[in-house]
Amino acid sequence: MKLLRRVFPHPHLTLLLTVVWVLLANAPSLNSVVFGLILGIVIPFITQPYWPDRPVLRNWPMVVEYIFVVLWDIVLANVTVARIILFKRDADRQPNWVCIPLDLRSPEAITVLAGTITMTPGTVTCDLSAKGHNLLVHCLDAPDPDAVRDDIKNRYERRLKEIFE
């Protein structure tokens, strides 16, 4: 078991790298699977010392749920933002800064949250506070900043907390 741990320090990364390589080759042949596996074993082995304290994903069903929640939100938010851009006069729009206090502490989880906020249209992550306890988010049209904050905390941060912590 210990030997297995040393050869595969990061099994999920091994799997991910293999899948990415096979997708890149775009032909699921034995060739690409074998080379993908070689990369998937060598890269985590070499990069292991540079990524101490990596997080363990605890809740895999939640990862799948999170991905679908985010994809669905992206589609909905795209339509909302398209309507704001096309039909709302620029003077009626209320761009706003929102400060989101974080309960998350793991840097990887905060990175995922910040990326999610940017990729869902209508909100962009702009900065982290000096010690990493708050996120600064810019909203394209937010008459009610508190609602945006609660929405992000309930939809994304709660799920990420279950995944990472």
Partner 1 sequence: MTEFWEIVIAFFLIVSGIFGFVGSFGMIKLKDPMSRLHAPTKATTLGVGGVLIASILHALALELRPSLHELLITLFLFLTAPVTALFIAKWHIHRHETPDSLPPAGEDGKWATHAVEPEKDIPDHTAT
- Which residues lie near partner 1 (CB under 8 A)? 20, 23-26, 28, 74-75, 78, 81-82, 85-86, 90, 93, 95, 97-99, 101, 114-115, 118-122, 124-134, 136, 138, 140
In 3-state terms, what secondary structure has residue 141? Answer: coil
**Cα–Cα distance between 13 and 84 in angstroms, integer?**
40
Task: CB nearer to partner 1: give 14 or 125.
Answer: 125
Task: CB nearer to partner 1: give 18 or 125.
Answer: 125
Identify the CA nearest to 97 among candidates 70, 83, 117: 117
Task: CB nearer to partner 1: give 11 or 28.
Answer: 28
Q: Tell me how far, at minimum, the Cβ of 7 lies from partner 1, in Å.
A: 26
Counting Cβ atoms within 10 Å, is residue 44 exposed (0-12), middle (13-18) or buried (19+)?
Answer: buried
What is the torsional sign of CA 11, 162, 67, 80?
Answer: negative
Task: CB nearer to partner 1: give 4 or 27.
Answer: 27
